[in-house]
Amino acid sequence: MTGVEIAFVLLGIVALSSAVLVVTTTQLVHAALWLVVSLGALAGCYLLLSAELVAWVQVLIYVGAVVVLLLFGIMLTRAPIGPSTDLDSGNRLAAFAVGLGTAGTLVTVLLTGLRHAYFHLGDNPGTGTARSLGDAIFRYWVLPFEVLSVLLLAALVGAIVLSRTNIGRVAAPEDDSASEQRGRR
């Protein structure tokens, strides 16, 4: 076992166990924090695989923005601080079965297919750098890149529209209830 493999296994264990904790813990905020750990370990995995840009983008966006958003969501929905008993639905057994099935299928198929596949990690040293990835994006992938920016704009607009509270209506809350009553009659 090379050093890369050992490091990868350790990081993998960290990622996987924190992922399991995300889906099983009884404390809502802890789940978000374990998610941070898991995503961070994954960023480490990416580094080991020499995908530097992806690793740092993962840290920036996922850990930095997405998890923060999730934490905001947790706070805004009045999440209980401390353990709560009603975080798991009655579907647990079926979900466990499906998860187990998925895991078994995927692992079997992948191992069977990739039995003799090995990395040659040192052969291509600049493969994950910002320079080569930037080259690739703006040479081959520029159109999807532009579409993605439009997508982000749409998501932004959508999020704002969905979360505003009656901005633009002239009536005050009392007149709202009156107009509702008139509508019902």
Cα-based angle 85, 91, 95 (whole degrees, multiple of 5): 115
Contact positions with another protein (CB under 8 A) in 4-43? 4-5, 8-9, 12, 15-16, 19-20, 22-23, 28, 31-32, 35, 38-39, 42
Q: Which of 81, 82, 83, 97 binds another protein (CB under 8 A)?
A: 97
d(CA 75, CA 66): 14
Contacts (CB under 8 A) with another protein, residues 49-78: 49-51, 53-54, 57-58, 61-62, 65-66, 69-70, 72-74, 76-78
Does residue 101 bind another protein (CB under 8 A)?
Answer: yes
Sign of CA dihedral 94, 100, 102, 105: negative
**Under a CB-based contact definition with an 8 Å cutoff, are residues 94 and 70 in contact?**
no
Query: Shortest approach of another protein to residue 180 CB, angstroms?
Result: 12
Choose which of 10, 107, 171, 178 interacts with another protein (CB under 8 A).
Answer: 107
Q: CB–CB of 26/78 below 8 Å?
A: no
The answer to whether 46 touches 58, Cβ cutoff 8 Å, is: yes
Verify binding: residue 87, another protein, rule CB under 8 A: yes
Q: Least distance to another protein from the beta carbon of 171, Å? A: 18
CB 81, min distance to another protein, A: 14
Q: Does position 125 bind another protein by CB under 8 A?
A: no
Tokens of 59: 């840290």
Place of tokens 């993605």: 148
